[in-house]
Amino acid sequence: MALRRGFKSEASDLAEEVRGELGLSRFDRMDPFALARHLAVPVIPLSDLTATCSGAQYFLAVEPGTLSAVTVFEGVRRIVVHNDTHSPARQNSNVTHELAHGLLLHAPAPALDSATGCRDWNADHEEEADWLTGELLVTRPMALAVARGKFSRESAMERLGVSRKMLQWRINATGAAKQAAREADRFS
Ligand SMILES: [Zn+2]
């Protein structure tokens, strides 16, 4: 499975544009809740739904790991419901992922396939949304700054509100690790 040709540079441009609209420098934290307000997408914590929806209670109490976030469509309007029992770093990535689908104009798909009852899964869309999530939360220049040792991993995680896993993935996937290693070789 690979992202289609040209997607990464489109995603990078899109992320830069969106972060710019939010007034963020390349080293600033992107708050997905601020992005949601900017996009006029309501974000509802799953715990708010427990009083009215037994399904929500199930996800929170019985299988808290199962549901991260989901986009609900009301006509063309998107609403993001997210699991607010997850760690703040995970919530940031879960909510950004859902908003990324919207930014990429992924068409609404039913969460469940009506014929089989299974989750309808578009692997290409998921991979694209994951990639754009990374671009929005950890820019390549930021990943490079961490790989060069200008920020420690801990301070970058704190600053950006992301998990160690997300940060490390970006450092590797953007080629920042390789670039920093090459530079270190050259100057040693
Ligand atoms: Zn998704």
Q: How far away, in angstroms, is 133 Cα from ligand 1 center?
A: 10
Q: How far away, in angstroms, is 69 Cα from ligand 1 center?
A: 8
Full set of structural domains in the chain with CATH: 7-137 (1.10.10.2910), 138-188 (no CATH)
Mean pLDDT is lowest, of 106-110, 154-158, 159-163, 167-171, for 106-110
Q: How far away, in angstroms, is 20 Cα from ligand 1 center?
A: 24
**More confident of the two residues 11 and 78:** 11
Q: How far away, in angstroms, is 104 Cα from ligand 1 center?
A: 11
86 and 68 Cβ atoms separated by less than 8 Å = yes
Q: How far away, in angstroms, is 91 Cα from ligand 1 center?
A: 14
Q: How far away, in angstroms, is 68 Cα from ligand 1 center?
A: 10
How does pLDDT run across 40-98, given as a tens digit for each residue? 999 999 888 876 666 666 666 666 667 788 888 877 788 999 999 899 999 999 999 99
113 and 50 Cβ atoms separated by less than 8 Å = no
pLDDT for 159 = 98
Q: How far away, in angstroms, is 126 Cα from ligand 1 center?
A: 5
Q: How far away, in angstroms, is 109 Cα from ligand 1 center?
A: 11
Which 3 state secondary structure label does DSSP give 90?
Answer: helix
Q: How far away, in angstroms, is 129 Cα from ligand 1 center?
A: 6
pLDDT for 75 = 78
107-146 per-residue burial string, b: 16 or more CB within 10 A, e: under 16: eeeeeeeeeeeeeeeeeeeeebbbbbbbbbbbbbebbbbb
Q: How far away, in angstroms, is 52 Cα from ligand 1 center?
A: 25
pLDDT for 12 = 97
45-81 per-residue burial string, b: 16 or more CB within 10 A, e: under 16: bbeebbeeeeebeebbeeeeeebbbebeeeeeebebb
